[in-house]
């Protein structure tokens, strides 16, 4: 179903769980979209917001070459946590994926998407990500996950 993030086509308190992925960085004013997520999530439900981290080198590269992704440069753990805290009590902020190199390597336009069909290539990309995760500070990892219990 397609819908406007600022006026979702659902009744109040429709869902036990709501996932918002890779959306907020495309909006000029993120607050109304978060309020809409709150509206459709049942009390006691779960809300997860997943956004690219604007401090991650790969995401900075993505924002540089794709103008419609530039809003992700505003994303940080503190900024997203504060934004969600304006609408929900006690958001938990986590980081995921140290360096999602597959986004570049398998990119439809800039990469080699068919490479993802090969087990060895997938294993190499996962191994690279694990190795980077051992040395890269978590605040620079690729994605920010904000979890809320409504």
> 78-133: per-residue pLDDT in tens?
999 999 999 999 999 999 999 988 888 898 887 899 999 999 999 999 999 999 99
Instruction: State residue 132's pLDDT score.
Output: 95
Whether pLDDT at 37 is above 90 = yes
How confident is the prediction for the chain on average, in pLDDT? 94
Which run of H or E residues covers position 147?
A: strand 143-149
Rounded Cα gap, residues 111 and 42, in angstroms: 41
Q: Which residues of 115-145 are buried (b: 16+ CB within 10 A; e: fewer)?
A: eeeeeebeeebeeebeebbeebeeebbbbbb
Rounded Cα gap, residues 146 and 9, in angstroms: 23
Domains of the chain, residue spans: 15-99+138-149
Distances (CA, A) of 128 to 81, 98, 120, 121, 140: 29, 10, 12, 11, 16
| Domain 15-99+138-149 homologous superfamily, CATH | Vaccinia Virus protein VP39 (3.40.50.150)
């Amino acid at each position: 179903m397609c819908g406007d993030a600022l006026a979702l086509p659902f009744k109040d308190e429709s869902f036990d769980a709501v996932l918002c992925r890779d959306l907020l960085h495309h909006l000029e004013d993120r607050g109304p979209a978060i309020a809409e997520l709150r509206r459709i999530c049942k009390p006691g439900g779960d809300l997860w917001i997943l956004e690219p981290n604007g401090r991650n080198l790969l995401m900075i590269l993505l924002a540089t070459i794709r103008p419609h992704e530039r809003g992700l440069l505003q994303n940080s753990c503190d900024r997203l946590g504060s934004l969600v805290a304006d609408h929900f009590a006690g958001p938990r902020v986590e980081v995921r994926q140290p360096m999602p190199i597959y986004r570049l390597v398998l990119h439809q336009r800039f990469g080699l998407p068919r490479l993802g069909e090969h087990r060895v290539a997938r294993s190499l990309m996962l191994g690279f990500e694990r190795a980077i995760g051992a040395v890269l500070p978590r605040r620079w990892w690729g994605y920010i996950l904000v979890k809320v219990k409504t």
